[in-house]
Amino acid sequence: MANLRIPTVGLELELPIIARATGVSADARGLFPRLYQRRLAQGGVAVPIQCGGLTIGVRDPLIVTSLDNGFNNVETAIGPCRDRACGETALNSLARHVHGELQEIRDTLREDGLGFLAMSQHPDVAITPDFYRRMRAPKAIYDYWTGIRGWDHAAGIDAKAQNGPTTGVPADAAVAALNVTLLAAPAMIALFANSPFENGSPTGWKETRLSIWERMFAPAAFLADRRQHVTPSRQFEDMADYFEWTFGAGTAMQAIPEPGASYKAAGRLLRVAGDPPLLAFLRAGRTRTHTLDGSNGAEVQPSLSHLEDLQFSHFLDGRIRFHFGHPPPVGAFLEALRERTVESLFETHCSALYIEGRACGANFPDAELCGLSDPLVSASVTMAASAIQKGLIANRDAFARIARVLAFPDVQAARLSAMRHGLATDVGPRNTPLARIAEVVLEEAERGLHDDERWMLHYPIHVLRTGDTGADRALRSYAALPGSPRQRVREIMQDRLVTTLPPVPDLRQPVLDLPRAVGF
């Protein structure tokens, strides 16, 4: 079967910020004014992002550099990138932009004595109410999550950082793309595991970062919130099925922004009376709202902009993301739900539609990786997840082949095992080694890549050959170091400060060693 054409790729990266001298989790709010001035001085088109009276980000036509949940966790969103007329693929174009963005962030942070860590969670943060108040980004949505929905948002304030590939798809391929992303998630979690410490000590988990969802939603006021991070026992059938699962019976819709505002900005949020499922809200017509403090809000006319605003509402390892060029009428969407023709409606009305991968922990080049004899291991570490996701989605046969070694109903248990044990575990009723599943995932991803994109697989191939994830390497260092747990963790942090960013390979040179993943 011919590969699916992938129109665009992008990447959302989160970076745990540290003080270079001490390794402590650090406030990076000074980054954004400096970055804004730097980009203006370079002749770029840059716009500051304001929230709560602060500059919390910088936007240009291709890159948004801002915050995730706190001032100690910088997020950069790069893309969408497309194939270029010169022959450069979208994925290789993205790799160049990622390299340039990380260089600029590294250099700008250094001016304030800061840096970022090649780990997917800061390993030595004691989360206290005071630390949470000081570090939390000033976004109204977080007040709502903690005060109304009852979430323990502080559980993630220790700079839990993901590598989130975004892969453009046509609407009629979106659900198949999501399903293969979810099926591959246990392997992706294991390959990119990089957070074995918390609050200065080992946790017994290889990817502690992903424990955030169970912890954050445990005290949730709405019971449905507690299942919004749990992979369903069956794959999604179509987009109607996906939206019914996310927003249908038993769920409680999120607060909505005032007209013209963003749900992550500082503007006022409105809570719909009764907290109905979003689909019920769309069907109900004009509806009363109130503000988060309980006072009366405006009457709101439901629109598909509300669906677009709330598309973040689940926390699985992958999401279908979209932007409407012109939102369709609510009635047309509800009819498409009934007729199971949402794909056709979205193909007509979406200006962008893509899969957001959410399984992989942040990995960056560290001193140990940069010292390896194969320079492409360190050069590929940050782009590898994007290459795998793009290859799997492009390869229309990938789902069926991976499902031979991991059935979809076993994904949730397998991902939990991957979080704890990384690659060193067996999963499913046949006790299949997760390393074998990861090998199949790489084989299928490679089939969906262009030859000049396969260099991005060097890091995961290295991990499978050696068994050394970022977490495994950190734990080996920990065992060899003297001192108290906290002293050893602090030593590891110094080794994981990102200083060198290896260049993207010059693909005009025919000297690259691009081994095939199959049968390595």
pLDDT in tens, 20-79: 999 999 999 999 999 999 999 999 899 999 987 899 999 999 999 999 999 999 999 999
pLDDT in tens, 188-229: 999 999 999 999 999 999 999 999 999 999 999 999 999 999
pLDDT in tens, 235-282: 999 999 999 999 999 999 999 988 766 665 557 899 999 999 999 999
For residue 1, what pLDDT is reported? 73
For residue 511, what pLDDT is reported? 36
> Taking phi first (over 0 means left), then psi (-120 to 50 degrees means alpha), and beta for anything else, what does residue 199 get?
left
For residue 87, what pLDDT is reported? 87
Whole-number Å distance between alpha carbons of 66 and 350: 25
Whole-number Å distance between alpha carbons of 329 and 500: 50
For residue 514, what pLDDT is reported? 47
Of 173, 230, 189, 75, nearest to 390 by C-alpha is 173
Find tokens 């340039």 and name the residue.
100
| Secondary structure of residue 343 in the 3-state scheme | helix
Q: Which residues of the chain have pLDDT under 70?
A: 260-266, 508-520
For residue 519, what pLDDT is reported? 46
For residue 512, what pLDDT is reported? 45
Of 221, 278, 223, 225, nearest to 247 by C-alpha is 278
| Secondary structure of residue 318 in the 3-state scheme | strand
What number of residues does the chain have? 520
Is there a contact between 329 and 301 (Cβ–Cβ < 8 Å)?
A: no
For residue 224, what pLDDT is reported? 95
Task: Name the token pair of 28.
Answer: 């990076």
Buried b (16+ CB within 10 A) or exposed e, 295-315: eebeebebbbebbebbbebbe
Task: Name the token pair of 168.
Answer: 């453009």
List of residues 6+ apart from 476 with CB closer than 8 A: 468
Eight-class DSSP state of 255: P
Bridge partners of 354, per DSSP, are 168, 321
Whole-number Å distance between alpha carbons of 35 and 43: 13
Handedness of CA 249, 170, 397, 390 (dihedral sign): negative
State the burial class of residue 17 (Cβ atoms within 10 Å of its Cβ: 0-12, 13-18, 19+): buried
Q: Which segments of 44-173 does DSSP mark as H helices, in order?
A: 90-110, 129-135, 140-147
For residue 509, what pLDDT is reported? 62
| Domain spans, the chain | 9-251+313-495
- CATH classification of 9-251+313-495 is 3.90.600.10, yes or no? no
Of 227, 205, 203, nearest to 217 by C-alpha is 227
Whole-number Å distance between alpha carbons of 149 and 256: 14
Bridge partners of 320, per DSSP, are 355
List of residues 6+ apart from 178 with CB closer than 8 A: 236, 242, 318, 319, 320, 355
Whether pTM > 0.75 for this model: the answer is yes
Strand order in the sheet with 256-257: 256-257, 269-272, 287-291, 296-300
For residue 520, what pLDDT is reported? 44
Task: Name the token pair of 50.
Answer: 């304001």
